[in-house]
Amino acid sequence: MNRRKIDRREFLKLGALAAVAGFSPVPAFGAIGRLSPPERSLSFFNTHTGETLDAVYCIKGRYCPETLLRINHILRDHRTGEIAPIDPELLDLLHALTRKVGTRSPFHVISGYRSPATNAKLRGRSRNVATNSLHMEGKAVDICLPDRDLRSLRKAALDLSRGGVGFYPGPNFVHVDVGRVRFW
C-alpha cells in the first residue's frame, strides 16, 4: 500500500490552520443565536485503521486546535495517508447528529477526507462517487453508528437540514456533508 507521510511543512500548515480556528474571535458555528453546550465532543472509530478518538473539540464556542489536528488525522485518507483539514462545520453537524439520535457511541467512519487521487480511483469503480466530491474538501464523511438503525441515522440527518445526506444501505453507511441541502 502506498502511504504518504506528512512532512514537516504540511504538519506546520495544518497546525496553523487549527490555531487560526481555535483562536478566532468568531464563536464556533452554533454558538450564536441558540443555546450551545459549553463543551462539544465527538467519538470516532476508523473502520479501516482501527484507530479510535474520543475528544472535546470545542469549549465555550472556541475550537480546540490540538483536537482538530487529531480529528484531521483520524479522518485522513486511509489509502494514501494524506491528511487535510476537516471543516469544523462538519464536526458541528456530527455533534448535532449525536444529540439528535441520542447516542454516545462512536461514529464508525467509512470515509472522511479523500485525496483527489483516491477520489478519481473510486470514481473509476463507481458512478456513486462525485467528480468534485466534498470529501476532497474535508466537508463530507461516510458514517454509521453501531447502536442505531441506518434508517434512523438517515432520518436524523435529513431532519437537521444542514447539508447533503446520502443513504447507502448495501455498504451500510450514511453520507453527510456541509454542502447545499439535498438528499439521495
Task: Indicate the pTM of the whole model.
Answer: 0.80
Those residues with Cβ within 8 angstroms of residue 70's Cβ, 6 or more apart along the chain or in another chain: 53, 55
pLDDT over 70 (residue 10)? no
The pLDDT of residue 14 is: 57
Amino acid at the residue 31: A
Architecture of domain 8-112+138-183 in CATH? 2-Layer Sandwich (3.30)
Domain boundaries, the chain: 8-112+138-183
Question: 128 pLDDT band (50/70/90 cuts)?
Answer: confident
Q: Read off the pLDDT of residues 134-177 as tens digits, 9 standing for 90 and up.
A: 999 999 999 999 999 999 999 999 999 999 999 999 999 999 99
CA 156 to CA 33: how far, in whole Å? 22
Closest CA to 10 of 64, 71, 73, 63: 73
The pLDDT of residue 16 is: 56
The pLDDT of residue 2 is: 43
DSSP 84-114: -PPPHHHHHHHHHHHHHHT--SPEEEEE---
The pLDDT of residue 31 is: 42
Q: Read off the pLDDT of residues 60-110 as tens digits, 9 standing for 90 and up.
A: 999 999 999 999 999 999 999 999 999 999 999 999 999 999 999 999 999
